[in-house]
Amino acid sequence: MGFANSLCSFFLLLLALVLYVANAQPLVPAMFIFGDSVVDAGNNNHLYTIVKANFPPYGRDFVNHKPTGRFCNGKLASDLTAENLGFTSYPPAYLSRKAKGKNLLIGANFASAASGYYETTAKLYHAIPLSQQLQNYKDYQNKIVGIAGKSNASSIISGAIYLVSAGSSDFIQNYYINPLLYKVYTPDQFSALLIQSYTNLIQDLYKLGARKIGVTSLPPLGCLPAAVTLFGSDSNECVAKLNKVAVSFNNKLNATSQSLVNKLSGLNLLVFDIYQPLHDLVTKPGDFGFAEARKACCGTGLVETSILCNAKSPGTCANASEYVFWDGFHPSEAANQILADDLLTSGISLIAFDQALQRPARGCSICWRPTQAWSVKKKKKSYDFVKEIFGIGKEESSESTGTADKDGAGEEADNHTETSDTAKTIFIRKRSREGRGGIFGDQKMDYSLAALKLLCVQLKDARETPSQNALTLGGILFQRAWLQGILVSNDGDGRLLLDDGTGVIELCLSGDFRLRQWDLGMYVMVVGGYFVRTGETPIIKVHKMVDLSAFPDREATWYLEVIEAYKLFYQPLIEDFLQAGYLREGQPITIMHPGIGLFLNKLPAKLLGGHKFLHQLEHALRISAAFLPHGIPTDIGRLMDVAQNSNVEDEPFPED
Ligand SMILES: *[C@@H]1O[C@H](CO)[C@@H](O)[C@H](O)[C@H]1NC(C)=O
Ligand SMILES: *[C@@H]1O[C@H](CO)[C@@H](O)[C@H](O)[C@H]1NC(C)=O
Ligand SMILES: *[C@@H]1O[C@H](CO)[C@@H](O)[C@H](O)[C@H]1NC(C)=O
Ligand SMILES: CC(=O)N[C@H]1CO[C@H](CO)[C@@H](O)[C@@H]1O
């Protein structure tokens, strides 16, 4: 897999990370889905309605190439989101036969095509109104207590992600074709009714225990192929009037969500903006590898949806991946993929929500879109963009290595190598000879080992190594961990608790750091040595601690940074090493000063010369500049030369 490629699959790879991090546990216990055809996974199959999709060509690119009732050629954005979160199967459609017993442990899908915020929209099409979806969810809650026990059930309920997607049908399949509504309400008035219903839904879900809710905005209604055909002039352009209504609705949705968050304590409610990403896809399909955005794949592509899109529809395209839309109203799987990636980017804060403390992780705010342009640009210039996101690559001097890394400088990296010397010295591993005093006295700290960016939950899986004063985590040898989180307790005596949303660790401060003021609620970066204590909260002996409260972006990007460091860099490297035979399965790789395992002298020139490796090297150097006290070794070019000539001396590979 090429480097650019691996960047593109960055979010998809989250799944693998999750498996690695938490023993095949998804990031959240369960997922519940409410709404309309955009997320219906087959509930309408069991209703007397014409709004169905349980016949070909629906599902032709889905698992087993069978129609399931999904309004798509393949997977829905909610399916892909479930995958991104680490689920290995999808929450079952609640009306289906699969929705029973243990299958319900991962949640359920209550959505129904042609449903909406407006009660009569669903009734018009004999679909399941949101009020009934909520009833079904109550029914689910009773069942799950029987299946999983009361305490397991309550952690499923409070830990789950709730996804709400509705509103499109209210406008397209009701308001604009229903003279009764159209005559009585202006679009604005109709929006206000929908928002009221939305408010009730969120309040009801909250009362039922939901704490992490994501709601999708309206898509650009005027760009849906059927809308262009039905409501457009002859120009084939998006219908401006409809888009304007969508934008105005989305603004209301946004403001209302904000006030709900202010009102309902402990609620993490996030508006996922699908308007902009879809609008980008429609207006610049070529940028994303699509050939067609006006016409849908199914039938003529101008209107067909549901029964009109069927096996006999003439003209259905051969390859839906070239189309933004599968049918007149619904994106293709290829487009859903892009939407789902975007959803995950903006949804990180839902995952980070700290349940025990009943408060959202700070910096996680409504509609926060850390990397709005991420999916927009990723197909083009992914590498540049990564650099942009993480604030790397902009710097020329060693002074400004970007916000993401600057503060990480290991003040106490007391025996660093000279970065101004030849590149070679960077790779030479030095062991600190002195032990550290105090309760950790018998453990020697090797400051040349890079601090590994970690989530608290990962520390549990770290193992001590027999022959070194170090630990391994998934094949990476390390001594120091780099964590970021919120201070949730301080005993005033140098013992603090840090919570990053995945778990809690104890911090042990000494020296200078003990004297400084650390307030509860501060968002801090910590670098320090990890000490395994069986049966107790993991403890970090702090070498470096920085208050980042004034930099919400640091909190915002933290999860991505951890994921990125591991998936984009460490893991591919380990794989390369394994493949090249320089590493045996299970043998630890030392992550050295520049944040990279460096056994350059042993690597075949082919591997060293490869773009992938050089990119990774450069990237790693920039990331780990934080740990080089004198800043980044700016002469990357020279380093590359060294790499290519590959005559760097190095200590032998650590044997176990
Ligand atoms: C709760 O979950 C745990 C862990 O999954 C399981 O061992 C236990 O049996 C469950 N409790 C009940 C009552 O099912
Ligand atoms: C929602 O509100 C937030 C903050 O008020 C704002 O930054 C964001 O741009 C808004 N999003 C939309 C889609 O209006
Ligand atoms: C379908 O289209 C996509 C995107 O253009 C392309 O990558 C893929 O190779 C095509 N598949 C077939 C079978 O032609
Ligand atoms: C600050 C410190 O400990 N510096 C030591 C680094 O290592 C060299 C030898 O490798 C020592 O001479 C320094 O005292």
pLDDT, mean of residues 593-619: 36
pLDDT, mean of residues 535-542: 82
Q: Pick the catalytic residue: 279, 330, 543, 619?
A: 330
Q: Is 493 a catalytic residue?
A: no
Using the mean position of ligand 1's atoms as its centre, give its distance from the Cα of residue 153 in Å: 9
pLDDT at 569 over 70: no
Handedness of CA 156, 164, 113, 191 (dihedral sign): positive
Q: Which of 82, 84, 89 is nearest to 9 (CA)?
A: 84
Greatest alpha-carbon pair distance for the chain in Å reads 83
pLDDT, mean of residues 164-187: 85
Q: Which residues contact 617 (CB under 8 A, 6 or more apart)?
A: 596, 639, 640, 643
pLDDT, mean of residues 570-581: 58
| CA-only gyration radius of the chain, Å | 27
Per-residue pLDDT tens over the stretch 331-364: 999 999 888 877 876 666 566 543 333 333 333 2
pTM, entire model? 0.59
Q: How many residues does the chain have?
A: 656
CB 292 within 8 A of CB 324: yes
CB 367 within 8 A of CB 561: no
C-beta of 251 in contact with ligand 2 (< 6 A): yes
Tell me the β-bridge partners of 212.
Answer: 161, 268
CB 39 within 8 A of CB 70: no
- Which ligand does the CA of 61 lie closest to? 3
pLDDT, mean of residues 38-50: 92
pLDDT, mean of residues 284-292: 92
Q: What confidence score (pLDDT) does residue 634 get?
A: 33
Report the range of poorest mean pLDDT among 329-343, 392-406, 499-513: 392-406
CA distance 262 to 258: 6
CB-side exposure of 121: number of CA atoms within 13 Å? 29
Q: Which of 268, 283, 263 is nearest to 220 (CA)?
A: 283
pLDDT at 130 over 80: yes
Q: What confidence score (pLDDT) does residue 567 get?
A: 54
Residue 563's pLDDT band, with cuts at 50, 70 and 90, is low
CA distance 166 to 127: 13
pLDDT, mean of residues 621-650: 38
Percent of the chain with pLDDT over 70: 61
C-beta of 414 in contact with ligand 4 (< 6 A): yes
pLDDT, mean of residues 555-584: 58
Q: Which of 52, 163, 51 is nearest to 109 (CA)?
A: 163
Tokens 């839309």 belong to 325
Q: Is 330 a catalytic residue?
A: yes
Nearest alpha carbon, ligand 4 atom 11 = 415
pLDDT at 608 over 50: no
Q: Which residues contact 263 (CB under 8 A, 6 or more apart)?
A: none
Strands 107-109 and 212-216, sheet pairing? unpaired
Using the mean position of ligand 2's atoms as its centre, give its distance from the Cα of residue 218 in Å: 14
CB 401 within 8 A of CB 626: yes
Tokens representing 445 are 């700290």
Amino acid occupying residue 458: Q
CA distance 619 to 613: 10
Q: What confidence score (pLDDT) does residue 278 get?
A: 95
pLDDT, mean of residues 284-293: 92
- Which ligand does the CA of 274 lie closest to? 2
Percent of the chain with pLDDT over 90: 34
Q: What confidence score (pLDDT) does residue 283 get?
A: 94
Q: Pick the catalytic residue: 6, 36, 37, 382?
A: 37
CA distance 204 to 223: 32
Please give the residue that has the higher pLDDT: either 94 or 411: 94
The count of other CB atoms within 10 Å of the CB of residue 609 is 14
Which atom number of ligand 1 is nearest to the Cα of residue 147? 14
Tokens representing 215 are 């709601």
pLDDT, mean of residues 544-555: 71
CB 33 within 8 A of CB 290: no
CA-to-CA separations, 209 to 138, 213, 319, in angstroms, rounded: 11, 11, 43
Terminal alpha carbon distance of the chain = 30
Report the range of poorest mean pLDDT among 92-106, 191-205, 259-273: 259-273
Q: What confidence score (pLDDT) does residue 551 get?
A: 63
Q: What confidence score (pLDDT) does residue 559 get?
A: 60
Q: Which of 165, 171, 170, 178 is nearest to 272 (CA)?
A: 165
CB 573 within 8 A of CB 589: yes
- Which ligand does the CA of 418 lie closest to? 4
CA-to-CA separations, 570 to 121, 301, 307, in angstroms, rounded: 51, 45, 49
Tokens representing 301 are 């592509």
CA distance 44 to 422: 67
Nearest alpha carbon, ligand 1 atom 9 = 148
CB 112 within 8 A of CB 43: yes
Per-residue pLDDT tens over the stretch 178-226: 767 777 889 999 999 999 999 999 999 999 999 999 999 999 999 999 8
Residue 325's pLDDT band, with cuts at 50, 70 and 90, is very high
Residue 587's pLDDT band, with cuts at 50, 70 and 90, is low
Nearest alpha carbon, ligand 1 atom 14 = 148
pLDDT at 539 over 80: yes
Using the mean position of ligand 3's atoms as its centre, give its distance from the Cα of residue 192 in Å: 43
DSSP code per residue over 565-597: IIIIIIHHHHHHHHHHTSS-TT--EE--TTSS-
pLDDT, mean of residues 446-467: 67
